[in-house]
């Protein structure tokens, strides 16, 4: 199957996750600080090459009713910029409430507020990518 890179794109940071070779398990990579669109895309393109990712899954923060809000529009614009710099497929994945879930997971693990703030983007990226991977496994194989 090959590795997939998962991204939680925020205004200040980009949470990053990577799947294993089999496409079953997502784990976190260091979070990227946003420094500007061109440099952000360059950093992600370098990760794709270094980690030999065959695709990217970007969390799309839809509103609760499923519509696009301002943050989703920003993420889609980032995805379009990214498409011009990488040669792997990019999919978006509904990430509604992922950051809330990431914060809950960290709180339950006993992380204090400073630790949660530092780790929430990475955990959100893991949850986005793991959700995508789990959905791929749940799909029935195409009929021949």
pLDDT digits (tens, 9 = 90+) for 42-75: 999 999 999 999 999 999 998 888 899 999 999 9
Query: What count of residues does the chain have?
Result: 144
DSSP secondary structure code for residue 118 in this structure = H
Domain count, the chain: 1
101 within some domain = yes
Structure-block tokens of residue 136: 């791929």
Q: What pLDDT score does 1 carry?
A: 64
Q: Which residues on adjacent β-strands are paired with residue 53? A: 3
Distance CA 124, CA 126 (A): 5
Tell me whether residue 143 is in a domain: no
Mean pLDDT of the region 36-43: 94
Q: Does residue 144 fall inside a structural domain?
A: no
Note the pLDDT of residue 20: 95
pLDDT at 77 over 70: yes
Nearest to 48 by CA among 82, 72, 15: 82
Instruction: Give the CATH number for residue 98.
Output: 3.30.420.140
Q: With respect to residue 129, please indicate whether it lies within any of the assigned structural domains.
A: yes
Q: Is the pLDDT of residue 142 over 80?
A: no
| Long-range CB contacts (within 8 A, 24+) of 131-136 | 131/93, 131/95, 131/98, 132/4, 132/6, 132/57, 132/91, 132/93, 133/4, 133/19, 133/23, 133/24, 133/25, 133/26, 136/23
Distance CA 29, CA 43 (A): 13
Which structural domain range is residue 16 located in?
Answer: 3-138
């Amino acid at each position: 199957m090959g590795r997939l890179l998962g991204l939680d794109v925020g205004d200040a940071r980009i949470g990053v996750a990577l799947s294993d070779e089999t496409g079953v398990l997502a784990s976190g990579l260091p979070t990227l600080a946003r420094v500007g669109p061109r440099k952000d895309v360059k950093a992600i393109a370098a990760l794709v090459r270094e980690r030999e990712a065959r695709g990217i899954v970007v969390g799309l923060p839809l509103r609760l009713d499923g519509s696009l809000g301002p943050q989703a529009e920003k993420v889609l614009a980032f995805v379009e910029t990214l498409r011009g710099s990488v040669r792997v497929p990019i999919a978006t994945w509904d990430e509604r409430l992922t950051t809330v879930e990431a914060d809950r997971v960290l709180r339950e693990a006993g992380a204090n507020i400073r630790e949660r703030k530092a780790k929430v983007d990475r955990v959100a990226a893991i949850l986005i990518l793991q959700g995508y991977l789990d959905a791929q496994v749940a799909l029935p194989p195409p009929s021949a």
